């Protein structure tokens, strides 16, 4: 069926090679799902009037490159490829709420001006900043150093989280050991009680 898109660029105008770059990891892409409108040209021609319907769309952008954007009806593959964003969309999340990661605006290291500058380029999370391609950094003065700061911050956060998880595991293990020790003591008391009862009968 022949479709034309009433929102975004026509499918035939999109170069599919844009997102076949090995350094464009899915985790660093800015992805949102939304409801768009598709015009059914064939049905419209047959009916002599505009025939359109709402349809789920996906917008995929490489952070820092506003010329590298895919905007089209969402396929089943898109939904499987970006499950977190799609689940958020189906749960009623708006485009801005479909971000995965730590938002730049919530990051203490980023000033308000930096947040606005990077968001304009589709860089909205610390994770996206840390994965920013070198060619994008070269076009944005200071971005290379800021990228390293983001990477270091994420590394420290991961280390802290892992340490906290280990502490929680240690506490859980200690609690389990205490429970087992308590059970052993109770069993010892029961055995002693049974032994005393047997001795009393023998006497």
pLDDT (tens digit, 9 = 90+) per residue, 151-187?
888 887 767 666 556 656 666 767 776 777 777 777 7
Is 37 inside a domain boundary?
Answer: yes
Number of structural domains in the chain: 1
Is 129 inside a domain boundary?
Answer: no
Across the range 50-72, mean pLDDT stands at 84
Which region among 16-30, 40-54, 81-95, 163-177 has the lowest average model confidence (pLDDT)? 16-30
pLDDT (tens digit, 9 = 90+) per residue, 109-144?
888 888 888 888 888 888 888 888 888 788 778 888
Is 58 inside a domain boundary?
Answer: yes
Is 36 inside a domain boundary?
Answer: yes
pLDDT at 76 over 90: yes
Instruction: Give just the sign of the alpha carbon dihedral 21, 22, 25, 28.
Output: negative
- pLDDT over 90 for what percent of the chain? 7
Is 128 inside a domain boundary?
Answer: no
Q: How confident is the model at residue 1 (pLDDT cuts 50, 70, 90)?
A: very low
pLDDT (tens digit, 9 = 90+) per residue, 136-161?
788 778 888 888 888 888 887 767 66
Q: How confident is the model at residue 17 (pLDDT cuts 50, 70, 90)?
A: very low
Q: State the average pLDDT for the chain.
A: 76
60 close to 19: Cβ distance less than 8 angstroms: yes
Is 17 inside a domain boundary?
Answer: yes
Across the range 16-22, mean pLDDT stands at 48
- The string of DSSP codes covering 124-150 is -BHHHHHT--HHHHTTSTTHHHHHHHH
Range(s) of the domain holding residue 44: 3-100
Across the range 55-84, mean pLDDT stands at 88
Is 190 inside a domain boundary?
Answer: no
Is 198 inside a domain boundary?
Answer: no
């Amino acid at each position: 069926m022949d479709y034309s898109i009433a929102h975004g660029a026509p499918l035939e105008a999109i170069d599919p090679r844009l997102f076949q770059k090995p350094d464009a990891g899915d985790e660093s892409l800015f992805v949102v799902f939304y409801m768009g409108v598709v015009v059914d040209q064939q049905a419209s021609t047959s009916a002599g009037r505009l025939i359109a319907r709402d349809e789920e769309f996906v917008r995929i952008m490489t952070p820092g490159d506003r010329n590298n954007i895919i905007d089209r009806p969402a396929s089943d593959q898109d939904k499987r490829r970006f499950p977190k964003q799609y689940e958020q969309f189906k749960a009623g999340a708006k485009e801005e709420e479909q971000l995965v990661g730590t938002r730049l605006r919530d990051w203490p290291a980023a000033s308000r001006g930096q947040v606005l500058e990077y968001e304009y380029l589709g860089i909205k999370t610390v994770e996206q900043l840390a994965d920013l391609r070198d060619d994008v950094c070269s076009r944005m003065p200071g971005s290379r150093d800021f990228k390293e700061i983001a990477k270091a911050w994420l590394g420290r956060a991961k280390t802290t989280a892992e340490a906290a998880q280990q502490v929680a595991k240690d506490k859980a293990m200690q609690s389990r050991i205490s429970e087992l020790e308590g059970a052993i003591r109770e069993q010892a008391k029961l055995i002693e009680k049974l032994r005393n009862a047997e001795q009393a009968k023998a006497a």
